[in-house]
Structure 1
Amino acid sequence: MSAVDSGSEAAGLMDRMYRFQRHIYDATRKFYLLGRDGLIAELKPPPGGTVLEIGCGTGRNLIKIAQRYPHTLCYGLDVSEEMLRTAREQVAKAGLADRITLAQADATSFDPQALFGRTGFERVVVSYALSMIPPWREALAQAMRVVAPGGSLHIVDFGDQAHLPAPFRAVLNRWLALFHVTPRKDLEAVVTDLCAETGVIGGTTRLFGGYSVQAVATRPA
């Protein structure tokens, strides 16, 4: 399926959680969703290229991408219609409705042709979404599939926290659990395995003592 029935379990859970949070989401998350702006700075899509964000939420990243790279077309999908309501409002407010297209869809099984009229994108972004998607490996594989030849997949999410103090890790994980967030401690290994299986060139970088992990995977032209 490309689109998600608003009554589906995943969509319903996210809509209930974000129905009110969406109004303060960006103001509160900027303090702990680290590495997002670094990812955006490194995207460097080609002129006339396309950027897809999977799990676009309020549209915060897409707006920054569209502003930083004015010769690109941007696309975003999210399972939560509540978050997309805010995203549409923010995109319109920024005057970018002609360059950012949004759709409700499941990250594990969306059809980019049906949603956006495209089969692939020069840049695909997944920012702090895998830690909220239970079948996250399927979502990661789907993200890799829609990278166009010569394009790249860019990921940032919570890491294994290996070099952070134990008390801080305990508090952090209790806090994240309140929002149905589960750090994928084997994200680096899964990305490495997926790159090997699909013949793409990839690598991962730990940020802030393992608080976050960033990954880039490039498909040969």
Structure 2
Amino acid sequence: MTRNIAPINNTENHPLSKYYQFQSRIYDMTRWSFLFGRRQLIRTLPIPKKKSISILEIGCGTGKNLIQLAKKYPHAEITGIDLSEEMLQICRKKITPYQGRISTIKGAFGEVTFRENFDLIVFSYCLTMVNPGWDRLIDQAKSTLKTGGVMAVVDFHDTAVSGFEHHMAGHHVRMDGHLLNVLPKKFRQHEQQIAKAYFGAWRWFMFIGYKKP
């Protein structure tokens, strides 16, 4: 697949790239216990399953969502981009059965040039970790989305437990509800949900919207 042009850029010194050098080793063993709503997001996508579409996941990690997207959309061309080479090494092994349909790029979104825009862009537990710069990523994603295309986000929302908020900040995660102050203003809302995790220790959200004409 030749959809993407990735310029050479140095991401090894990026804080998140360094963070995932270790986290990649335990990511799939641990994240299932608190990254809620990922399957629900994909199930809720409003695009018909048989449609031929182009999909971009920003911060694709170890490839869990890429595979689920490939299963739901058998005629889709899917691209995943991530800063972490360690995460992508795991991802590439997983997507071997989908060669020709799923491709990956190592790099920072916004520094990669795409030949064409996408029908669907997915952020899964990515935006809350980009501080500062999350707002620029949303704007960049909007400009990389076709008119009428779908923006799909699942992420942490907020917490009333100050100790947990501090703990998550140590893992680069911002949890003050800031994303849902912006996403409905940028996209025409199709679906929005906020749900409690662990009896309300924190909340996560799902947002799906269309790029306005």
Q: TM-score range by the shorter chain?
A: 0.7 to 0.9
Distance 1:7 1:126 in 2: 19
The 3 A distance-change label for structure 1 pair 129 and 48 is: same
List structure 1 segments (4+ residues) > 3 angstroms apart after TM superposition.
Answer: 1-4, 200-204
Partner of 1:149: 147
Give the TM-score normalised by the residue count of structure 2: 0.84
Distance 2:77 2:105 in 1: 14
SS at match of 2:158: coil
The partner residue of 2:26 within 24, 27, 34 is: 24
Distance 2:173 2:165 in 1: 8
Distance 1:65 1:138 in 2: 25
| Structure 1: gaps (5+ residues) | 114-118
Letter in 1 for 2:62: T
TM-aligned CA deviation for residue 125 of structure 1 = 0.4
Distance 2:208 2:67 in 1: 21
Q: Number of paired residues?
A: 202
Matched, 1:170 2:176: no
Partner of 1:136: 134
TM-aligned CA deviation for residue 2 of structure 1 = 5.0
Please say if residues 4 and 106 of structure 1, whose CA atoms lie closer than 8 Å, have aligned partners that are also in contact.
Answer: no
Distance 2:180 2:17 in 1: 29
Between Structure 1 and Structure 2, which shows a larger proportion of strand residues?
A: 2
Partner of 2:211: 219
Partner of 2:121: 124
Partner of 1:96: 98
The 3 A distance-change label for structure 1 pair 143 and 184 is: farther
Give the TM-score normalised by the residue count of structure 1: 0.81
| Structure 2: gaps (5+ residues) | none
Between Structure 1 and Structure 2, which shows a larger proportion of helix residues?
A: 1
Partner of 2:193: 205
SS at match of 1:75: strand
Deviations 1:133-181 (A, max 9, x none): 12100011111111212221001111123xxxx4xx2343233233222
Partner of 1:80: 84
Distance 2:139 2:43 in 1: 24
